[in-house]
């Protein structure tokens, strides 16, 4: 793979981080908060710096190299911010960027990525039919293809891919229960229900924020599953392995510091407030140009 701008071929010196440094989390927008909240619950002593690339969301319709470059820029920003590890809380970005990022940063800056939670759905399905709701770019990546080849095909489980470019903007706008969003979900998922799928894998970190919307339409006809808890557990394992897990209670007032690239912190604040529970403190700021 060719070099990805703006990461240089060599790392500028950054002071060695310690366990009290924050965990970096990146997503194309605010959808990755679904993962951040899972990690925050699982690791209650950790604090987080969250990079939301709201200037370029959504990533789903973008070209592969464009996705790589935007992801590389965001991870480099988190690295230079002094984070001790980074979670690529975006299925689309993970599908194209993990191998390069891990090779570039090495063990000094662990990178945790996402894979749609297809494996547990395959193991649990009784109808032998599951669906994966994800962006077109996620399905172009090799991560989900590998899981389908390794687990779904040997188990003779039918996997129904479902793609849509309209759902992420609904979440970014805080319109999950709007008539337009509900109509889109019904149009997308009714054929899945009709084909007998008993599990729906939410293969984009924005989509857990649509759980209530999906259940409002379809009740409990499908079990909804996402990668959030699995990523939280993997993050804990990586931190323990690298002796970076923070084990003491913190006194900081802010657990999640959000930074948005679209210079739209003020507009995003009420939407974020609806997504983050009251027991987790947070702030949101624009990234300086």
Question: Does the annotation count 164 as an active-site position?
Answer: no
Q: Where are the beta strands (DSSP E) in the chain?
A: 23-27, 48-52, 85-88, 111-112, 129-134, 158-163, 199-202, 223-225, 256-260, 282-286
Q: Annotated catalytic residue: which of 83, 90, 164, 181?
A: 90
| C-alpha closest to that of 34 among 158, 171, 220 | 171
Q: How many whole angstroms separate alpha carbon 192 and alpha carbon 200?
A: 9
181 is catalytic: no
Distance CA 56, CA 66 (A): 10
Residue among 161, 144, 24, 145 at smallest CA distance from 85 = 24
Question: Other C-beta atoms within 10 Å of 267: how many?
Answer: 12
Q: Considering just the CA atoms, what is the radius of gyration of the chain in Å?
A: 18
Bridge partners of residue 256, in order along the sequence: 48, 282
Catalytic residue among 83, 164, 181, 204: 204
Quick count: other Cβ atoms within 10 Å of Cβ 266?
10
CA pair distance 56, 143, nearest whole angstrom: 23
Q: Which residues are catalytic, by number? A: 90, 204
């Amino acid at each position: 793979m060719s070099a990805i701008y703006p990461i240089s071929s060599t790392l500028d010196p950054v002071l060695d981080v310690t366990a009290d440094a924050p965990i970096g989390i990146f997503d194309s927008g605010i959808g990755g908060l679904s993962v951040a909240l899972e990690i925050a619950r699982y690791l209650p002593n950790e604090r987080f710096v969250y990079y939301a690339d709201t200037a370029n969301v959504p990533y789903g319709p973008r070209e592969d190299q464009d996705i790589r470059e935007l992801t590389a820029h965001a991870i480099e920003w988190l690295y230079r911010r002094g984070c001790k590890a980074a979670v690529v809380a975006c299925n689309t970005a993970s599908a194209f960027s993990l191998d390069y990022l891990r090779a570039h940063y090495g063990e000094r800056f662990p990178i945790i990525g996402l894979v749609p939670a297809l494996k547990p759905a395959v193991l649990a399905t009784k109808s032998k039919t599951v669906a994966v709701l994800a962006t077109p770019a996620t399905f172009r990546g090799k991560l989900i293809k590998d899981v389908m080849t390794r687990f779904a095909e040997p188990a003779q489980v039918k996997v129904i891919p479902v793609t849509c470019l309209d759902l992420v903007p609904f979440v970014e706008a805080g319109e999950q229960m709007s008539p337009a969003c509900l109509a889109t979900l019904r149009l997308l998922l009714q054929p899945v229900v009709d084909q007998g799928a008993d599990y729906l894998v939410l293969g984009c970190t924005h989509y857990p924020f649509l759980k209530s919307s999906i259940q409002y339409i379809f009740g409990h006809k499908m079990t909804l599953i996402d990668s959030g808890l699995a990523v939280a557990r993997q993050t804990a394992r990586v931190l323990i392995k690298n002796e970076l897990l923070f084990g003491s209670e913190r006194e900081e007032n802010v657990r999640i510091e959000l930074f948005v690239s679209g210079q739209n912190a003020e507009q995003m604040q009420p939407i974020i407030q609806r997504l983050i529970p009251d027991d987790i403190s947070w702030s949101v700021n624009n990234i300086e140009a």
